[in-house]
Structure 1
Amino acid sequence: MEFGFFFILLSFFVLVLVIRKLTTFSKTCKSKLNLPPGPRKLPFIGSLHLFAGSNPPHRTLRDLAKKYGPLMHLQLGEVNIIVASSSKTAQQFLKTHDLDFASRSTVLMSEICCYGNKDIVFAPYGEYWRQMRKICTLELLSAKRVESFRPIREEEMSDLCRWIVLQEGSPINLTQKICMTNYEIMARATFGKKTEEHVKFIAIVKEGMEFMSTFHVADVYPSIKLLSSITGLRRKVEKVHQETDRIIENIIEEHRRVDAADRGSNEDLADVLLRVGDSGSLELPLTIENIKAVLADMFGGGIEAPTTTIDWAMAEMLKNPSILVKAQDEVRQVFDGKRGVSEAYFDELKYVKLVIKETLRLHPPGALLLPRENKERFEINGYEIPARTRVLVNVWAIGRDPEYWEDAESFKPERFLEKQVDFKGNCLEFIPFGAGGGFALESHLLLQMLS
């Protein structure tokens, strides 16, 4: 009874606090800013009600953009949101004014799981961000480093093929097996070995990625600190972080105990970060928390993105049997008589590469690029963008824009025979890995794994 009364009292207190905060916020927003067009805003919640259905956010945003245009303003709780849904509007934020919108929005998930945004993905724009991008480009994800992991990829993929052959005539969960194979590749490349707690680690990584891609009310009412605790979000995120931290901490301790001379030239990503951190050549020190945050970045993205993309590729080919047969015939022709999987022959898989491109067009690893933010008030296309506005680029909508893609909703790998685009963010109608300062540095590694 006492607990029930306490809960009611607490709920009433929170409600009063929310109304007070939102009333104050609402008054400050009534200035005569020339904002981009957008849907009507309700008191206190703005446009949150538009996302109450079962539709994924990127689909809802695409539908709204059809009505309000490719540059759209939304009010979600306390937060101003700008959505770019075409390559032309995306260019404003990813290329033309890249540095003005280079900061990342801080959310609870990144604050906790990335050790106070000490990773690369969510690090605030500045000296540390530039230093870590440089380390990634020159050390962690250079072409030479990615190539050094080639034997790992070939061995694990050969094991996968042998396992599939042994299951002939039996139903198999290919998604689960591909996820495990990607895990084993990333574990060996990142940590030097498969962790003993691999099943638990995969589950934790998946849960963390799910938190990262899910909408949370607490993130759009940042001034109401109690919300994350009341909704239970903070407790869940902290639990995921503690488990991840424990596993990575143990792995780093193992690496610390191995003498550098004993590692030889076979460095994994943890070895590289420890070596660079101990070198004394950095302007800003690389702490253990920095290293753990970066390793979590690499590991999480390296499992989820290729697994999801392969899932979609298989689904699309099953819906289009002629495409599946053509891809199978090419693979059989290229690898006929070969023992195991060798990346030396990947350049001959011309049609398979088209299938991968078309899959990434329709189903990019992140339907919405991670939110960017401007520190100061800005103007785009004659519209005013208030300071600390979160900018979302709807990559999913851009990949299906009929202005750039003929028969945009159909799965047609052959379209890339005529349309010469790359993955590097140079063609803004095709940016599955982002562009500009937000370009995913691990894209080269992901593409090797996808092939």
Structure 2
Amino acid sequence: MILLLSINLPTILIFYILHKTKPQTVTTLPPGPPPLPLIGNIHQLGRAAEPHIYLHHLSKKYGPIIHMKLASRPLLVISSAKLAKQVLKIQDLAFCSTPNFLGQQKLSYNSSDVAFTPFNEHWKEIRKTTQIHLLGNKRVQSYRHVREEEISRMITEIYSSTSEEVDLSEVVLSTGIRILCRITFGKRYEEGGSERKVFHRILRGFDALATVFFVSNYFPAFGLVDKISGRVKRADVMCKAMDSFYQELIDEHLESKKIKDEEEDMLAVLMKLKNDDESSSGLTWDKIKALLMVSLV
């Protein structure tokens, strides 16, 4: 990384000098701590042991609305209930879209899901499909037997344990994963099994890709650094493994016999919508995989 910065430093300085010599447009921005050239306020947030406490102290100095910069990205910090209501409710449409971060774009099949998609007509359609066909009251009630069976197994597991101590956090987490898997794609992963290990590896891959720092997220002009450092290649390898996991689930559903409506898992519902000529969902395989990702995570 030091070598890369040394190589790119002259280019960065030239870019900065040219940028500063351009006529600056007059804007009225909220107050905030002065940013450094190029990196903005990243250094201040990065070294804060407790960011929420640090931002609280800033609000006492600069007021309930603060303007900061994460490199090229503007950041607004809201520190009052009145302004929070404006942002989250009254003017929700102006603030509800998510930024286009590289890792999230790859995970969501280029914003084909309902979590990382900017607010637009596509998001409205996907959300409508999710609300009606996956999370509607009738559909949720159809999975009641799954929840009851798995909770019954959990109680039996705790009752029959030979150990004097039971890690309830681990037991409840395992039960939640089993319920989720059965509801989402109709499979129950046993503890310690090979399929369970693959599933956990997929979740760890998501966590790594969603939180990794990509230079291009904050310095779009220097996206080449991500390729040279190997971050893009590692992200592609992770996404390929996840795609293979989703595709295997889809292939299993395509090969299986017809399932009764009351026993359909979420993947089966999405596949039926995709094949339904009368459906206006516009689902594709990529959209279905992106929705699978959201359901699992």
Q: TM-score, normalising length from structure 1?
A: 0.59
Shift of 1:14: 2.7
Residues 2-401 of structure 1: pairs in structure 2 closer than 5 A: 10-24=4-18, 30-53=24-47, 55=49, 57-167=51-161, 169-194=163-188, 197-213=195-211, 216-260=214-258, 262-283=259-280, 285-300=282-297
Partner deviation per Cα, 1:203-243 (whole Å, 9 max, x = no partner): 32144235435665442223321232345432333232222
* Residue ranges of structure 1 left out of the alignment (5+ in a row): 1-6, 301-451
More relative contact order in 1 or in 2 (CA 8 Å, sep 6+)? 1
Structure 2 counterpart of 1:278, which letter? N
Structure 2 counterpart of 1:292, which letter? K
Structure with greater helix percent: 2
What SS does the aligned partner of 2:262 have?
coil
Aligned residues: 293
1:115–1:289: 8 Å Cα contact kept in structure 2? yes
Shift of 1:101: 2.6
State the alpha-carbon separation in 1 of the partners of residues 162 and 22 from structure 2. Answer: 65
State the alpha-carbon separation in 2 of the partners of residues 61 and 168 from structure 1. Answer: 49
Structure 1 counterpart of 2:133, which letter? E
Task: Give the CA RMSD over aligned residues.
Answer: 2.7
State the alpha-carbon separation in 1 of the partners of residues 212 and 44 from structure 2. Answer: 15
State the alpha-carbon separation in 1 of the partners of residues 167 and 23 from structure 2. Answer: 51
State the alpha-carbon separation in 2 of the partners of residues 268 and 24 from structure 1. Answer: 57
Shift of 1:252: 0.7
1:26–1:43: 8 Å Cα contact kept in structure 2? no
2:31–2:62: 8 Å Cα contact kept in structure 1? yes
State the alpha-carbon separation in 1 of the partners of residues 168 and 10 from structure 2. Answer: 51
State the alpha-carbon separation in 2 of the partners of residues 149 and 28 from structure 1. Answer: 61
State the alpha-carbon separation in 2 of the partners of residues 90 and 28 from structure 1. Answer: 35
Shift of 1:65: 3.0
Q: Are the structure 2 counterparts of residues 169 and 257 from structure 1 closer, same or farther at C-alpha, using a change threshold of 3 Å?
A: closer
Q: Are the structure 2 counterparts of residues 267 and 47 from structure 1 closer, same or farther at C-alpha, using a change threshold of 3 Å?
A: same
State the alpha-carbon separation in 2 of the partners of residues 135 and 26 from structure 1. Answer: 48
Partner deviation per Cα, 1:64-118 (whole Å, 9 max, x = no partner): 3343333211111111111223332122222222222332211011111111111
1:128–1:284: 8 Å Cα contact kept in structure 2? no
What SS does the aligned partner of 1:105 have?
coil
Q: Are the structure 2 counterparts of residues 284 and 168 from structure 1 closer, same or farther at C-alpha, using a change threshold of 3 Å?
A: closer
Shift of 1:283: 4.5
What SS does the aligned partner of 1:83 have?
strand
State the alpha-carbon separation in 2 of the partners of residues 114 and 292 from structure 1. Answer: 8
1:152–1:188: 8 Å Cα contact kept in structure 2? yes
State the alpha-carbon separation in 2 of the partners of residues 60 and 289 from structure 1. Answer: 41
Q: TM-score, normalising length from structure 2?
A: 0.86
State the alpha-carbon separation in 2 of the partners of residues 79 and 93 from structure 1. Answer: 18
Structure 1 counterpart of 2:222, which letter? I
Structure 2 counterpart of 1:220, which letter? Y
